[in-house]
């Protein structure tokens, strides 16, 4: 459900994405955003670990601040998870997620009709004095044996 495959983006494309959102393409931002493009969804800890020696002198707090500034600029979106860990998502469009409790990963649900369908059903039963802001869907799951295994 990603608009174009961010994982394939070159450094020039990453630079122009930062610039489009009004952010200077500093080496720290370039590294953090490139890591986010590779990971898709990640917590600050996961980005920090993923960067390895590439993080240079960046502390975990710096990585977190860089992710927050990108979120404020509209380049990333926050996805709170059931693990209470805050994830960041490179796909800023509205879409549902699977939360894997066994691997602590967020995975996109690639059904574009799911959110509109749930929103329509909820609108039918919502009290009239409430206004629907948006629908967030996060389904908790873990790996298991397929149902047809004996
Ligand atoms: Zn997502």
CB atoms inside a 10 Å sphere around CB 116: 11
Of 71, 89, 107, which marks where a domain is finished?
89
Q: What is the tens place of the pLDDT at every residue in 110-149? A: 898 999 999 999 999 999 999 999 999 999 999 998 776 6
CA of 8 to the centre of ligand 1 (A): 17
Q: Which of these, 49, 38, 90, lies nearest to 67 by C-alpha position?
A: 90
Contact between residue 89 and residue 77 where contact means Cβ atoms under 8 Å apart: yes
Residues 59 and 20 in one domain: yes
pLDDT on residue 93: 92
Identify the burial level of 39 via C-beta atoms within 10 angstroms of its C-beta, where 0-12 means exposed, 13-18 middle and 19 or more buried: buried
- What pTM, to 2 d.p., does this model score? 0.85
Q: Return the SS3 of 79.
A: strand
pLDDT on residue 146: 77
pLDDT on residue 150: 59
Q: Give the Cα separation of 137 and 19 in Å (integer).
A: 31
CA of 41 to the centre of ligand 1 (A): 6
What mean pLDDT is predicted for residues 77-92?
A: 93
Does residue 6 register a pLDDT over 80? no
* Domain CATH number, residue 71: 1.10.10.10
Residues 63 and 137 in one domain: no
CA of 80 to the centre of ligand 1 (A): 11
Range of the domain at 52: 6-89
Pair type for strands 138-141 and 97-100: parallel
How many domains does one find in the chain? 2
Which residue in this structure is represented by tokens 């390895």? 52
CA of 120 to the centre of ligand 1 (A): 21
């Amino acid at each position: 459900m990603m608009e174009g495959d961010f994982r394939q983006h070159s450094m020039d494309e990453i630079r122009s994405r930062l610039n489009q959102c009004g952010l200077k393409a500093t080496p720290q931002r370039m590294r953090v955003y490139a890591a986010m493009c590779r990971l898709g969804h990640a917590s600050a800890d996961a980005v920090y670990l993923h960067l390895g020696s590439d993080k240079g002198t960046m502390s975990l707090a710096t990585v977190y601040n860089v992710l927050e500034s990108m979120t404020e600029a509209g380049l990333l979106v926050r996805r709170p998870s059931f693990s209470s860990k805050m994830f960041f998502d490179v796909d800023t469009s509205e879409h549902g997620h699977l939360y894997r409790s066994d691997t602590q990963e967020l995975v996109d649900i690639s059904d574009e009709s799911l959110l509109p369908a749930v929103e329509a059903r909820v609108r039918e039963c919502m009290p009239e004095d409430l206004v629907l802001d948006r629908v967030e869907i996060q389904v908790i799951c873990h790996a298991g044996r397929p149902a047809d295994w004996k």
